[in-house]
């Protein structure tokens, strides 16, 4: 996939995985539109335009997609936005809050599908490249999709849904020349871990077979670029976890 002279969309672009991915795409010559619920603290990056957007809102995402498609042919969409609150199905205060469960599904799964569908609609209108390709969508799942831990019922459900979406989405969009892939990262050094102690981070790293460290957001972005640029990878979910298999807790 040729990126130079195109436009791309990245959700969750104000920090963490999304920020690293937006910067990596911009460095490849594509004009990036970084979507996030709060862009006030997003770092300025050349060739990245931040757009305050709720990924679960079809009107807001639709406007962002239209803006990106008007700037240049929309070829790439990357879903990085997500939330990960923890709660047991039966906790000290009773049953899992259904509204919280629904919110996690709404943001992580429905939000992913929202951009996937609307971006694909715009990509389908672009001129085809070699072999009829028009665009690529990369989603973000998690190893929790496979080995969800105690307290991750909602999060694992949402990320399992993203994994389950990947192949049928790739099959649905094949006729339009649009590929769909997913990354399932393990433990990544993101702002969510910035508040925990070095000792806690060291404990997390110790459970990873190799390399015995947390992944970097730049490594996630590197994998996303690979999935975008490798034209024969389609319908795949790739784990990026150092061979980690999560324990129950």
Active-site annotation, residues: 155
Contact between 11 and 28 (Cβ < 8 Å): no
Residue 151 carries which DSSP code? T
What would the two tokens of residue 84 be?
């990960």
For 177, counting Cβ atoms within 10 Å of its Cβ (0-12 exposed, 13-18 middle, 19+ buried), the class is middle
195 Cβ partners below 8 Å, 6+ apart?
none
Q: How many CA atoms lie within 13 A of 223 on its CB side?
A: 21
Query: What's the rounded Cα separation, in Å, for the pair 109 and 169?
Result: 13
Query: What's the rounded Cα separation, in Å, for the pair 243 and 120?
Result: 32
For 38, counting Cβ atoms within 10 Å of its Cβ (0-12 exposed, 13-18 middle, 19+ buried), the class is exposed
Query: What's the rounded Cα separation, in Å, for the pair 118 and 194?
Result: 33
């Amino acid at each position: 996939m040729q990126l130079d002279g195109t436009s791309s969309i990245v959700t969750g672009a104000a920090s963490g995985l999304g920020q690293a991915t937006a910067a990596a795409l911009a460095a490849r010559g594509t004009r990036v539109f970084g979507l996030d619920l709060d862009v006030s603290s997003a770092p300025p990056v050349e060739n990245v335009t931040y757009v305050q957007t709720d990924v679960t809102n079809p009107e807001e995402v639709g406007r962002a997609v239209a803006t990106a498609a008007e700037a240049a042919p929309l070829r790439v969409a990357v879903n990085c936005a997500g939330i990960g609150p923890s709660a047991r199905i039966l906790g000290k205060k009773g049953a899992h809050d259904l509204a919280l469960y629904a919110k996690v599904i709404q943001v992580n799964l429905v939000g992913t599908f929202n951009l996937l569908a609307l971006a694909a609609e715009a990509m389908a209108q672009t001129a085809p490249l070699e072999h009829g390709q028009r665009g690529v969508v990369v989603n973000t799942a998690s190893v929790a999709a496979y080995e969800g831990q105690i307290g991750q019922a909602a999060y694992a459900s949402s990320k399992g849904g993203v994994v389950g979406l990947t192949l049928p989405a790739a099959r649905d969009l094949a006729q339009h020349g649009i590929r769909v892939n997913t990354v399932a990262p393990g433990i990544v050094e993101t702002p969510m871990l910035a508040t925990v102690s070095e000792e806690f981070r060291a404990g997390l790293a110790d459970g990873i077979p190799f390399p015995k460290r947390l992944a970097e957001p730049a490594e996630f972005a590197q994998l996303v670029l690979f999935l975008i640029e490798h034209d024969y990878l389609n319908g795949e979910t790739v784990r990026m976890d150092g061979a980690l298999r999560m324990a129950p807790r």
